[in-house]
Structure 1
Amino acid sequence: MFRYFETRIDFTKRPPEESPPDNLWGFYWHFIAQAKGLFIALFALGFVLAVVEALIPWLIGRLVNALSHTSPEGIFREAGPLLVAMGAIILVVRPLGTILFRLLVNHSLAVSFTTMVHWQNYWHVVRQPLGFFQEDFAGRIANRVLQTGRPLRETVLSVARAVWQILIFGAASIGLLATQDWRLALPMTGWFLLYTTLLAVSLPRIQKRSRASSEARSAVTGKVVDSFTNIMTVKLFGRRKDEDDYISEGYRRLNDSFMSQQRINTLYVAGLTVLNAVFLVSTGAVAVWLFSGSRIDAGTMTTALLLSTQIVSMSGWVAFEVMGIFENVGTVQEGMKTISRPLTMQDRPAARPLVVTRGEIRFDHVSFSYGDGDKVIDRLRLTIRPGEKIGLVGRSGVGKTTLVNLLLRFFEPQEGRILIDAQDIADIQEESLRGQISVVTQDTSLLHRSIRENILYGRPQASDEAMHEAARQAHAVEFIERLVDGRGRRGFDAHVGERGVKLSGGQRQRIAIARVILKDAPILILDEATSALDSEVEAAIQESLSTLMEGKTVIAIAHRLSTLQLMDRLIVMDDTRIVEEGTHAELLENGGLYAGLWSRQSGGFLAPRRGVPDEAV
């Protein structure tokens, strides 16, 4: 039975292609529609249970009348059908409905529906372009992805189990009392009107302050994760007090926003408490007055008092559920800021896989700028022949890394196009494009997984033998075999820590090179690939890279010009465009910009281009 309800939602199925809408109702419906049958069943059961709850006091009132008008020995003869009906409702209908309701909530919606929302939030956000993640804290993005599922679910469940049920219960109660004497229904009708007014006044304020609390919580999560991720920098600079002040300010704002929210909650509960007290007294007074004038019998008076007591009892529970609804809505609204942003730079409808037959790359009048800033690349034209190995040279900020990022489609040019074997990469499937390009960067980041998993990330289907051979070619086997992590895992099974923090920069770089060797893509990009290595290891790696580069089209970026001497051609960039090109010897002979750079450098680094931040290179 459990398994049946637990398998009603398949959270692993491919999510809808369209982005979750950025309006609240549309956002909710985007997920609810995928399990609407279960939610319809939930509200139907809620309706039945609410009517049953209203019938029980009414049946008790009828029983009181029967007992007051029947002798003890004739009670079963006169009230037999009534007792049977009460027994059936209390022993069968109510327990069965409650059990089915809990099965739907606990086993179909509380787990699988929430997991589905989490999974689809991740699936959508992870497909955003690189710039999306560069604009925000990783911790805040993760918090919004992970925190939205539970409040979204709880909002709908609270409506089903509280608001919906008290509405049905109240309507049924008013109807039952009105059939006995219309004046009995007046206090309850007035209570509902005042209760609705209290909600209308309080809940928008609760929602607004809940959204502010959620935003403050996401902000402080982002700050804490940022601090932990950069813990080495925090400790190296001895700025613990400044960091404490920075984080505590976030917690202060979070505390203040929660305090503000709780003030409204307290005022809401205080108003409801007074309203309930007046309602109980007025219902009792009307019932006793009608009974004293023989306008209603004892059973009807009992029903009225029982229904009123039950409404008051439910209202406290419903009050907290309703407050929870609006707190959860605020959290969902805050999460929508990240999750509902439309996907950009996605594959075109007719996008096709990239077919690399020769490896020619052509930049055709390409222009690009970051946002509204100055152009980093301006109408650049460059053709890289099949199998050619070129080096990109220039100061930081002239657009070398930007050119590579455009080739990888992390960004799209504002003008021009980029072609690989005469195929415009704008018409190519993103995954296919990057599958044909291997990249080794200066700032190597590893996944917090085992060495084996990190290397196999280049080609998951590769054999263990191929993985070990790639590590050997990257001169990484020796240090890998000595590794032991905190849980006793050794060698290739040892985990490397977040972003590979347990390894040195040179070790991370060798793992990254092994991963690229295993991938064996026809186009290779080396962005300061050996900058983190010592001279002896670099010399050995250069030998491996020479083997790796055979038969491939290669683009290499290096500030140490000595590492580019073996390239077929050097491309010198300055002021958004190419200013020189040729072999190392030719450029030295020409006596131009490259010769000047070479003369000022002996294994050092080039000065950045004025006015361009390093991160925009």
Structure 2
Amino acid sequence: MFAYFERLVDPYPDTRPATPPTSFLGFIWACSEGTRPFVLAMTVCTALIGAFEALLFGMLGRVVDWLGAVQPAQLWTEARGELLMLLAVIVASPLVVGLQTLLKHQALAGNFPMRLRWNFHRLMLGQSMAFYSDEFAGRVAAKVMQSSLAVRDVVFIVTDILVFVTIYFVTMAFLVGGFHPVMLLPFAGWLVSYGLAVRFFVPRLAGVAKNQADARSLMTGRITDAYTNITTVKLFSHAQREAGYARSAMQEFMQTVHAQMRLVSGFEVGIHSLSMMFILSTTAAALWLWTQGLVGIGAVAAATAMALRLNGMSHWVMWEVASLFEHIGTVQDGLATLTKPNAVLDRADAQPLAVPRGEIRFEAVDFGYGRSPSLLQGLDLHIRPGEKIGLVGRSGAGKSTIVNLLLRFHDLRGGRILIDGQDIAGVTQDSLRAHIGMVTQDTSLLHRSVRDNILYGRPDAGDADMVSAAQRAQADEFIATLADPKGRSGYDAHVGERGVKLSGGQRQRIAIARVMLKDAPILLLDEATSALDSEVEAAIQATLYQLMEGKTVVAIAHRLSTIAAMDRLIVLDKGQIVEEGSHHELLARGGIYARLWAHQSGGFLAPDVDDDKDAIDAAAATPAALAALHVAPTASA
């Protein structure tokens, strides 16, 4: 039975989630999709439970009256109908409670927030790189997690608790009024006073709760940021500085806590005072009516019992209402993040990209980050199929921007980018990036096994292909020596968050193996061998040249020696192409490239690099031949 109800709500729907509305009620309604029939059924059960409980107090009054007016032998004869009704309520109540709790706790309590986490997470995965450059990763995760629970609790409190209280109050009012209209006066007075207290305190609690949710996510974000960058923290001995940085966020959070608790204390004292006055006035009114012969003993007993029950319930309702607005504040805090539309979207008619040749064209491309002036203006660049080009320029010249635009991490302000004649803005993002392999300078691995990280390049590849890629990337020897605290070793060993358990060179070789396994027709290299020592780099360079065979290649390198043998070098300055040509052609011009080359302090290719290009294109399938093209480092070319 439990399993049946647990399967009623699918926590992981396949349907792609739409961006929720920015209005609070619209957001809650959108979040309830897939759960609404069960929430409605739970609400109906809750209403019946509230009515049953109030009816029991009325029946208690009738029982007290019978005890004083009916002979024991005549009780069944004179009160058969009402006794059968009392029995029916008692028997039906557990059944309704059982159905209500199965719907609430089995169908909804776990599945509802998990469904929201699943949908919110997929929405966040679809956000652009620009979105994440402006956000703490921990802050985004906190909003995904806490907003999911807050939405569930808002729905539960409104449809479960408040419905119960409303039906209970309405039923109780009818019963009390049925004893005598005068007995409604204390109840009405209490209700009005309670409503005024709620009206005063709750909006203030809601405002504090919203500020508290924002302060909590900021605190979580700062703490997570320190853990994520723990190497940098320890390298600069800034543990105390980071503690102070987190403490300032904690102090801001504590200020909201103190403000909240002050309001709660005032609310608590006020509601308790109202409840005591209600019990006193209800009891006094009932006793006065009894002394006047206007009500029976049963009415006095029932009214007093209801007042006592309402006293306990008023505190419960107070906390639930306060909790409701705390959750509302949490949801409102998450709205700005969770309802932000994805900046880079596939068109409705987007088709998968096909790359039979690998030709790339940038046509009159105009682009700038955010509201900043355009970094690229009218950029035209043609990369022929199978051509290998190097992007050269000072920091900020636009090299990485060109690569990011080719991957469509951002949309253009003007112009277009074509791959084999297809505008990348009109193809699906997944298919575009599936045809592009990239190795970056700052390699970040997933906190999973080595196997998982390499297979990220092609998840359907077999172990043989994975091991072959690792061997070609000169990674198989060190992988064999890996082990983690849980006893996993080799390809099963986990590498730590962002690959922190590995050296920079080891991470780079796993990243290269991943791209080799992907074997995409377009290859992007951004300082692909910067983290490797000279001996390993020489071997990897030969492997990379083999990998480049038959592919269109765009390479970025600050160390010009690593790209000097490319078919063509593109020199950028302030987002414009200022020079292009081969290594020797650019040196002969004496322009920007020649000056950059003259200032190089790392290793570089020998001046006759163009003459040896055939050997390189053959991949030197011989690392030694490639290494022979390098000469000792010098300060100038």
The TM-score range, normalised by the shorter chain, is over 0.9
**Counterpart in 2 of 1:533?**
532
Q: 1:18 offset after TM fit, Å?
A: 2.4
**Counterpart in 2 of 1:36?**
36
The DSSP-based 3-state class of the residue aligned with 1:581 is strand
Q: Does the C-alpha gap of structure 1 residues 395 and 604 become closer, same or farther in structure 2, counting only changes over 3 Å? A: farther
CA separation in 1, counterparts of 2:239 and 2:356?
55
Equivalent residues in 2 for 1:420-499 (5 A)? 420-499=419-498
The DSSP-based 3-state class of the residue aligned with 1:33 is coil
The answer to whether the Cα contact below 8 Å between 1:63 and 1:82 also exists between their aligned partners in 2 is: no
What residue identity is the alignment partner of 1:78? E
- CA deviation string 1:315-347 (max 9, x = no partner): 111111111111111111111121111122100
Residue 402 (str. 1) matches residue 401 (str. 2): yes
Q: Does the C-alpha gap of structure 1 residues 477 and 342 become closer, same or farther in structure 2, counting only changes over 3 Å? A: same
Q: TM-score, normalised by structure 1?
A: 0.96
Q: 1:592 offset after TM fit, Å?
A: 2.0
Q: 1:94 offset after TM fit, Å?
A: 1.2
CA separation in 2, counterparts of 1:249 and 1:592?
51
The DSSP-based 3-state class of the residue aligned with 2:400 is helix
CA separation in 1, counterparts of 2:169 and 2:371?
59
What residue identity is the alignment partner of 1:264? L
What residue identity is the alignment partner of 1:86? L
CA separation in 2, counterparts of 1:29 and 1:400?
45
- CA deviation string 1:391-432 (max 9, x = no partner): 001111100000000000011221211000010111110111
The answer to whether the Cα contact below 8 Å between 1:559 and 1:604 also exists between their aligned partners in 2 is: no
Q: 1:602 offset after TM fit, Å?
A: 3.3
- CA deviation string 1:251-307 (max 9, x = no partner): 111111111111111111111101101111111111111110001111222221122
**Counterpart in 2 of 1:7?**
7
- CA deviation string 1:182-226 (max 9, x = no partner): 111111122112111111111110010011111111001000011
The answer to whether the Cα contact below 8 Å between 1:358 and 1:421 also exists between their aligned partners in 2 is: yes
Q: Which stretch shows the higher mean deviation, 350-359 or 32-41?
A: 32-41
The answer to whether the Cα contact below 8 Å between 1:63 and 1:79 also exists between their aligned partners in 2 is: no
Equivalent residues in 2 for 1:150-299 (5 A)? 150-299=149-298
CA separation in 2, counterparts of 1:237 and 1:159?
51
The DSSP-based 3-state class of the residue aligned with 1:570 is strand
The answer to whether the Cα contact below 8 Å between 1:66 and 1:78 also exists between their aligned partners in 2 is: no
**Counterpart in 1 of 2:614?**
none
What residue identity is the alignment partner of 1:148? S
- CA deviation string 1:6-39 (max 9, x = no partner): 1111121134542111111111100123211011
What residue identity is the alignment partner of 2:69? H
**Counterpart in 2 of 1:372?**
371
The answer to whether the Cα contact below 8 Å between 2:143 and 2:217 also exists between their aligned partners in 1 is: yes
The DSSP-based 3-state class of the residue aligned with 1:148 is helix
The answer to whether the Cα contact below 8 Å between 2:561 and 2:603 also exists between their aligned partners in 1 is: no
**Counterpart in 1 of 2:611?**
none
Q: 1:582 offset after TM fit, Å?
A: 0.9
The answer to whether the Cα contact below 8 Å between 1:509 and 1:532 also exists between their aligned partners in 2 is: yes
Unaligned runs of 5+ in 1: 606-617
The DSSP-based 3-state class of the residue aligned with 1:390 is strand
The answer to whether the Cα contact below 8 Å between 2:17 and 2:122 also exists between their aligned partners in 1 is: no
- CA deviation string 1:99-122 (max 9, x = no partner): 111111110110011110111111
- CA deviation string 1:516-553 (max 9, x = no partner): 00000000000000000001000000010011000000
Q: TM-score, normalised by structure 2?
A: 0.93
- CA deviation string 1:340-377 (max 9, x = no partner): 11122100111111010110000001121112323321
Q: 1:82 offset after TM fit, Å?
A: 2.9
What residue identity is the alignment partner of 1:64? V
Q: 1:74 offset after TM fit, Å?
A: 2.8
**Counterpart in 2 of 1:560?**
559
Residue 85 (str. 1) matches residue 85 (str. 2): yes
What residue identity is the alignment partner of 1:149? S
Residue 513 (str. 1) matches residue 474 (str. 2): no
Equivalent residues in 2 for 1:102-117 (5 A)? 102-117=101-116
Q: 1:230 offset after TM fit, Å?
A: 0.9
What residue identity is the alignment partner of 2:301? T
**Counterpart in 1 of 2:574?**
575
**Counterpart in 2 of 1:348?**
347
**Counterpart in 2 of 1:610?**
none
Q: 1:385 offset after TM fit, Å?
A: 0.1
**Counterpart in 2 of 1:614?**
none
Q: 1:161 offset after TM fit, Å?
A: 3.0
**Counterpart in 2 of 1:126?**
125
What residue identity is the alignment partner of 1:399? G
CA separation in 2, counterparts of 1:150 and 1:228?
25
**Counterpart in 1 of 2:62?**
62
**Counterpart in 1 of 2:523?**
524
Q: 1:73 offset after TM fit, Å?
A: 2.9
Q: Which stretch shows the higher mean deviation, 596-605 or 491-500?
A: 596-605
What residue identity is the alignment partner of 1:11? P
The DSSP-based 3-state class of the residue aligned with 1:34 is coil
CA separation in 2, counterparts of 1:319 and 1:16?
39
The answer to whether the Cα contact below 8 Å between 2:10 and 2:111 also exists between their aligned partners in 1 is: yes
What residue identity is the alignment partner of 2:3? R
The answer to whether the Cα contact below 8 Å between 2:51 and 2:168 also exists between their aligned partners in 1 is: yes
Greater RCO structure (CA 8 Å; 6+ sep): 1
The answer to whether the Cα contact below 8 Å between 2:448 and 2:496 also exists between their aligned partners in 1 is: yes
What residue identity is the alignment partner of 2:502? L
CA separation in 1, counterparts of 2:603 and 2:259?
56
The answer to whether the Cα contact below 8 Å between 2:508 and 2:529 also exists between their aligned partners in 1 is: yes
The DSSP-based 3-state class of the residue aligned with 1:417 is strand
The DSSP-based 3-state class of the residue aligned with 1:413 is coil
CA separation in 1, counterparts of 2:215 and 2:15?
30
**Counterpart in 2 of 1:609?**
none
CA separation in 2, counterparts of 1:41 and 1:372?
50
CA separation in 1, counterparts of 2:257 and 2:186?
36
**Counterpart in 1 of 2:608?**
none
Residue 393 (str. 1) matches residue 392 (str. 2): yes
- CA deviation string 1:139-198 (max 9, x = no partner): 101100111111111111122332211111111111122223111111112211211111
% of aligned pairs identical?
Answer: 47
CA separation in 2, counterparts of 1:533 and 1:564?
16
Moved over 6 A (4+): none
What residue identity is the alignment partner of 1:500? G
What residue identity is the alignment partner of 1:19? T
CA separation in 2, counterparts of 1:592 and 1:470?
40
- CA deviation string 1:593-616 (max 9, x = no partner): 2112111213279xxxxxxxxxxx
Residue 74 (str. 1) matches residue 56 (str. 2): no
Instruction: Output the aligned Cα RMSD.
Output: 1.3
What residue identity is the alignment partner of 2:400? T
CA separation in 2, counterparts of 1:71 and 1:18?
69
Q: Which stretch shows the higher mean deviation, 189-198 or 428-437?
A: 189-198
